Structure 1
Amino acid sequence: MKIKHSRVTAVTAFALFSLSSAAQAGGLCSNATLSGPYGFHGHGEILGLLDSNNKLHPFASPLTLDDVAIVTFDGSGKFTRTDFGMINGLPKGGQTAFNPYQSGTYTVNSDCTGTMKVVYGSGGPVAAGVETDLEIVVSDDGTLIESVVNKAYSPSSGATADGTTCPPNCDQGVQEQFEGKKVLVYGFR
């Protein structure tokens, strides 16, 4: 009986190990990997405006951006976002408090890469319609998100050093990164 029990334990352990390795090789990530709140911080620069040929028309000086946010993922491809940001030492859009008027969509591929699109809604200090597209990598068992801004869209913007202006709706040239960590809630001790 003892030998039979040991054999069952060994076979079970081997099967679990094999399944675990196969699952990792095939990819463990999906939209469901991201669920609940994540604390984000970001830093970067808004460099200028992009024309229809994707040519950068730089501002006289880049605008430095720092941002913190809570992003709450629903596990199905949608999220809400609340942030506070500073641009060149001033609150973004004249903010005096966190801006909860943001939402978006996301996709996580089986290889743990993906995309996010943040959309600002009306009611906040930042103009409605501002959009930010990010390329993301999910790691640390779904508790860490590294991202780079791929595209920043704005309904308006100031002129660049060469006089290029933003017609209604334009893309900004940016160099920004954001990192998000899952908010873990621990009980009282």
Structure 2
Amino acid sequence: MVNALTIRDYAKEIKKMKTRAGFAALSLLFAAGHSFAAGTCDNNSLKGSYSFRVQGANLGLLDSANVFHPFTSPEPFAGIGQYMFDGEGSFTRTDYNVGLGTPAFPPSPVNDQGFRTGVTGTYSVSQDCTGTIVVGLLTTGTQIVLAVSVVDYGQAVFGVIKTEHASAFSSANNTSDLACTGGCDVAVNLSFEAQFNSTRRR
């Protein structure tokens, strides 16, 4: 009787172990599928209205050989505004920028709040949710390129400015030893954040 119970109990334990192993295998398969799906982004991850801010400092100018010509001291810079992404790689932007305590943007149309309007550009987002935003065109003299990371498939965007080319740099703000009258690259240390405007107040 004891031996019979022992064998029966052993058989039950074997069955339980097989069941647990099956559940473990299913869990691994689910996790693998979830891992494969995670991180899938594209241009459509950025679509709609985003409020943004950028802050940091302009550090100096770069000459044609990419040699750094520092300003006497870093020049603080901040900006805020709105992006409207179309989900296909293009956007429009409205912004208000301040440098050294004064408005800092080229003469351009402004809205009734004094924000610059009419800014356009392009963007691209890779499957791993990293991307690039390009503001303006080199052919017009001014272009800013941002390296970005898309958060939660488009709920927010973090970034830094990779390169900035200015058509000119005001002599009043240029304390470097390099003149910038016909266009130059600006050395910057600027961070960028944007937040999706998920609900519309009515």
TM-score bracket, shorter-length normalisation: 0.7 to 0.9
Backbone CA RMSD of aligned residues: 2.6
Larger helix proportion of the pair: 2
Structure 1 CA distance for aligned equivalents of residues 158 and 143 of structure 2 = 18
Give the structure 1 partner of residue 199 of structure 2. 185
TM-score, normalised on structure 2?
Answer: 0.74
Unaligned runs of at least 5 residues, structure 2: 1-26
Matches within 5 A, 1:47-126: 47-93=59-105, 97-119=114-136
Larger Cα-atom Rg: 2
Amino acid at match of 1:168: G
Matches within 5 A, 1:144-183: 144-158=156-170, 160-183=174-197
Structure 1 CA distance for aligned equivalents of residues 191 and 122 of structure 2 = 18
Identity of aligned residues (%): 34
Cα distance, 1:133 vs structure 2: 0.5
Aligned residues: 169
Structure 1 CA distance for aligned equivalents of residues 45 and 115 of structure 2 = 26
Unaligned runs of at least 5 residues, structure 1: 1-13, 121-127
Give the structure 2 partner of residue 10 of structure 1. none
Structure 2 CA distance for aligned equivalents of residues 179 and 20 of structure 1 = 28
Superimposed CA distance per residue, residues 34-76 of structure 1 (whole angstroms, 9 cap, x where no aligned partner): 0001100110111111012212101222221110010010001
Contact 1:57 1:161 in 2 (8 A): no
Cα distance, 1:185 vs structure 2: 1.3
Cα distance, 1:158 vs structure 2: 3.7
Structure 2 CA distance for aligned equivalents of residues 154 and 37 of structure 1 = 26
Give the structure 2 partner of residue 28 of structure 1. 40
